[in-house]
Structure 1
Amino acid sequence: MTNPRIAIAHDYITQRGGAERVVLALTRMFPDAVLYTTLYNAETTYPEFRDVTIVTSPLNRIRFLRTHHRAALPLLAWASSRVRVDADVLVASSSGWAHGFRTTGQKLVYCHSPARWLYRRDDYLGADAHRSLIGWILAALTPALSRWDKRAAAGADRYLANSTVIAERIKNAYGFDAEVVFPPFGVSPDGLLEPLPDIEEWVADGYYLVVSRLMPYKNVDQAIEAVRERDHKLLIVGAGPLDAQLQAQAPDNVRIVSNVGDRQLRWAYRHARAVIAPSFEDFGLTPLEAGVFGKPVAALRAGGYLDSVVEGRSGVFFDEARAADIARALNEIEAHDWDADEIIDHAASFGEAHFHAKLDAVIDEMMNERG
């Protein structure tokens, strides 16, 4: 059997996050594949995408939407339905849109989560959805978007989930089972390091590290409050709509930096005392990225962290995303004698080679079933 023609899809490529790192892993696995998406902004996502052949939807002609992709939400179902992909297998990395792209061949969906704005609206908005203007808009759009979403999901030939909790969410949303294939960690410890300006003075004593988009459901504000009265420092790497609010909230022992490249991110992980992961994540790569540097993590006992953190071996859990709970978890981190080699070994089991092998096996099965 000849090698199938593979194409890759992703909702929109306008930011830097775990899902985008998974897409980069797919491009390394299929270096000749064309990448299809609704919106692409080279300035706000990972620079490696510049080396990939990318085909966008007509929405990409609107500059404002490339820099404010959330404003495109009412148009994305329409745009996604008009993406046509000529391939034997389309590997669609989806959190709500790419699973609706049309293809001449088979469609394999790698699901980071069924659409949060449909099925977890309060989490997505960070407050009771009905209290905000965008919540009212979403409520008005929900019936039509929900019908579109379920038709798109039913059109897939195979569904994969990135974590156990997402497999359960897929079952609840669509009524079918999805195999769990964990994503690979995205930051290798072997590359070059570049110090972060104004943070080098913190290296001697170390610091706690949060790597996160600055959005309401990420609970970064609670991590800030957890260290407000501590002697230790907190470095936050990320960008998002809460940037100004969190900058105003931050005490002197907290610093927030954005537009950080991989060299600087490696440096940040290398010199951290421990990493804080305070949000409910579908999977959440941060504990594994910390792990490849031998750093323990204090993580919320929920979501994908239940798959990626081994309590007492690679980190500790806290039960609620509240400052007091996070502070207690940091006390546990400081009191424990961590084995860096053991942490690294655990993270290595989530490497890119394992991810590639799993996907290869699934694609082979799909092609054999098709005959």
Structure 2
Amino acid sequence: MKIHASRPLSARRASQPGRIAIAHDYLTQKGGAERVVLALHRMWPDAPIYTTFYNPEGTFPEFKKARIITSPLNRVGVLRSDPRRALPLLPLASSLMHVKEPLAVVSTSGWAHGFRYEGDTLVYCHTPARWVYLLEDYLGEGGQRSLKGRVARALRPALRAWDSAAQLRRTRYVANSTVVKRRIEEVYGVANVDLVFPPHSVSTDGPQAPIPGAEDLAEGGYLLSVARLMPYKHVDVAIRAAERTGRRLLVIGKGPEEARLRALAGQGVVFAQDLTDAQLRWAYAHAVALIAASHEDFGITPLEASAWGVPTVALRAGGYLDTIVEGVNGVFVPEPTVEAVTDVVEQVLAQDWDRGAMQAHAEHFSEVAFRERLARLLDDPHGAV
């Protein structure tokens, strides 16, 4: 594989009005990637945000104050509610997104780095496209035999070609975790990829609001899962493990696995989604442990839990290797099985935890730290953080 280095950014001051844009794949949900875009928006509140889809009711309300520029596909409600349905159309729609500003900061896990940019690009990559390079992981065991799985496999060669061409046109890539840094270097053949950890931003200072239907869980505490309901998140493992320990479980998230997971869950499991930050604070404040047994590009939920002094049961893989210090804010599980997770949950619940040490660890991943590192990267034409 040919290895090439990222080109230096032009010496432009990003703070100048009208000279910077923000881009993101689609703003339709409340995930860690969307929190990154929120942090970027707070850095440059006047910068337009280019995205293929925008659903104001599905994502964070702060975006309602931003100038959002979408693709024509955004007019199709069924696609706006679930952009995965637009997979065959997204390469063309993304290629037609025209960004004219001299500098764009691009948050992406597949589509936004393929927009048409006139200026330089700093690509903050959450992962190279899962539906190209990690398709089996993305679809899950059941999804591989589905119509969506067959379509995705048929499209993969064309999507790979489109994605590779998009990467070659970009100026500089920044990874959000160590595992993604390696993945970018291996998949794209890019040398010396910079690393800037994303921020956790569920502040402990704000108000709390109980989650309807979950108030009874607060008495005595509960196990917590905060993840999109996708196959690779292994929420089903969390449900079965909680049942074995006799603990109740609060599942926060939505996605295509919702119906299957609800059918699997017993009476001790409560589902919630589209929460406000006040409700999310309440969820962390009353939890006794977070279960995070998924394959993550960056493990942000353990940091949110750490800010509240809540330990995490985390899969020893991916981004959790960056955000978990074993014995400080969590314990690793070797594999995402019910037996392994059950054993480690019981270990975590029996252990005494230092709340102050957890919170100090979380501070290394604050929004202030993220903004400072990104600003240094933009100010340095050689890209040194």
Take 1:276 and 1:22, find their aligned partners in 2: how far apart are those partners?
A: 23
- Aligned-residue identity in percent: 51
The 2-side partners of 1:134 and 1:250 are apart by: 25
Calculate the aligned-residue CA RMSD, in Å.
1.4
Moved more, 296-305 or 96-105: 96-105
2:218 to 196, 203, 224: 203
The corresponding residue for 2:5 is none
Q: Conserved in 2, the CA contact under 8 Å of 1:234 and 1:254?
A: yes
Between the aligned partners of 2:168 and 2:142, the Cα distance in structure 1 is 30
Of 95, 104, 129, which residue of structure 1 is paired with 2:118? 104
Match of 2:3 in 1: none
1:24 to 9, 26, 38: 38
Work out the CA distance in 1 between the residues paired with 2:374 and 2:244: 46
Say if 2:258 is the partner of 1:243.
Answer: yes
Report the Cα offset of residue 58 of structure 1: 1.3
Structure 2 residue 98 is the aligned partner of structure 1 residue 84: yes
- Contact between 1:18 and 1:284, CA under 8 Å: does it hold in 2? no
Q: Distance in 1 between matches of 2:83 and 2:370?
A: 29
Q: What SS does the aligned partner of 1:159 have?
A: strand
| Equivalence for 1:121 | 135
Q: Distance between the aligned counterparts of 1:66 and 1:229, measured in 2?
A: 39
Change (3 A) 1:62 1:202: closer
- Asked if residue 303 in structure 1 is aligned to residue 318 in structure 2, the reply is yes
Matched, 1:60 2:74: yes
**Match of residue 323, structure 1, among 319, 323, 338:** 338
User: Which whole-Å deviations, capped at 9, do the CAs of 1:65-123 have from their partners, x for residues lacking one?
Assistant: 11121111111110111111121210010100001112221001000000000000010
Q: Are 1:155 and 2:160 matched, yes or no? A: no
Q: Which residue of 1 is the match for residue 4 of structure 2?
A: none
Tell me, yes or no, if structure 1 residue 51 matches structure 2 residue 65. Answer: yes
Aligned mate of 1:176, from 163, 178, 190: 190
2:245 touches 2:346 (CA, 8 Å); kept in 1?
no
Query: Shift in Å at residue 284 of structure 1?
Result: 2.3
Paired residue secondary structure (1:147): helix
Query: Which of 209, 212, 226 matches 2:241?
Result: 226
The AA in structure 1 aligned to 2:60 is Y
Shift of 1:199: 2.1
Relative to 1, partners in 2 of residues 1:266 and 1:97: Cα closer, same or farther, differing over 3 Å? same
Give per-residue Cα distances to partners, 1:321-370, cap 9 Å, x unaligned. Answer: 1111111111110121100010000001100111111111111124x89x
For residue 293 of structure 1, report the CA deviation from its aligned partner. 0.9
CA distance in 1, matches of 2:130, 2:244: 34
Where do 5+ consecutive residues of structure 2 fail to align? Answer: 1-11
Aligned length: 368
More moved, 345-354 vs 196-205? 196-205
Question: One-letter code of the match for 1:125?
Answer: L
What letter is aligned with 1:332? Q
CA distance in 2, matches of 1:82, 1:365: 30
Question: Which residue of 1 is the match for residue 359 of structure 2?
Answer: 344
What CA distance in whole angstroms lies between the structure 1 residues aligned with 2:144 and 2:39? 38
TM-superposed deviation, 1:129: 6.5
- Counterpart CA distance in 2 for 1:207 and 1:130 is 33
Taking the aligned partners of 1:59 and 1:65, their CA distance within structure 2 comes to 7
TM-score, structure 1 length as denominator?
0.96
Which of 1 and 2 has higher RCO (CA within 8 Å, sep 6+)? 2
Distance 1:130 1:201 in 2: 38
Q: Distance in 1 between matches of 2:236 and 2:50?
A: 35
Q: Note closer, same or farther for the CA distance 1:239–1:128 as it changes in structure 2 (3 Å cut).
A: closer
Secondary structure of 1:31's counterpart equals: coil
